[in-house]
């Protein structure tokens, strides 16, 4: 989508601090971090939110979650812990209408459901 900030980051029209890139998603530093480690894992396909995913997205979602696990190991967070958050919809705290995971760690995070 032309007006989506994440689509513009993916297409390199807007600069970001790229951490990693896979075939179907990118990983960037969050510009407003809530923890010492706060990355965004963003699918390259424009998907508005988790609500718009289907069985066709199983491989994408699985690869993004497994990436979180490997990232935690790489950063030494596997034992200490980390948080993966998917905000969905306006009442769920989603600010950008493009599915993305927040990966947070590096300090004791508050747990809330």
2 pLDDT higher than 90: no
When the pLDDT of each residue in the chain is averaged and rounded to a whole number, the result is: 95
For 113, what's the count of Cα atoms within 13 Å in the CB-facing half-sphere? 0
Q: CB of 98 within 8 A of CB of 89?
A: no
pTM: 0.93
Which listed residue (38, 46, 98, 100) is catalytic?
Answer: 100
Q: Is residue 110 part of a domain?
A: no
Q: What CATH number did the domain enclosing 45 receive?
A: 3.30.428.10
Q: From residue 107, give the alpha-carbon distance in Å to each of 4, 27, 35, 60, 82.
A: 31, 20, 7, 28, 8
Q: Please count the structural domains in the chain.
A: 1
Q: Is residue 54 part of a domain?
A: yes
Q: How confident is the model at residue 107 (pLDDT cuts 50, 70, 90)?
A: confident
What tens digit of pLDDT does each residue of 19-60 get?
Answer: 999 999 999 999 999 999 999 999 999 999 999 999 999 999
Q: Is residue 111 part of a domain?
A: no
100 as an active site residue: the answer is: yes
110 pLDDT higher than 90: no
Q: For position 27, what pLDDT does the model report?
A: 98
Q: 67 lies in which domain range?
A: 5-105
The 25-29 sheet, strands edge to edge: 18-21, 25-29, 37-43, 101-105, 82-85
Q: How confident is the model at residue 113 (pLDDT cuts 50, 70, 90)?
A: low
């Amino acid at each position: 989508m032309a007006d989506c900030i994440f689509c513009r980051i993916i297409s390199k029209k807007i600069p970001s601090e790229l951490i990693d890139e896979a075939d179907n998603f990118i990983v960037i530093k969050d510009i407003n971090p809530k923890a010492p480690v706060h990355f965004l894992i963003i699918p390259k396909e424009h998907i508005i939110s988790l609500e718009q995913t289907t069985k066709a997205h199983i491989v994408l979602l699985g690869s993004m979650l497994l990436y979180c696990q490997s990232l935690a190991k790489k950063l030494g967070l596997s034992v200490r812990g980390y948080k993966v958050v998917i905000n969905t919809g306006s009442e769920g705290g989603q600010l950008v209408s493009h599915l993305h995971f927040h990966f947070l760690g590096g300090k004791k995070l508050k747990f809330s459901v």
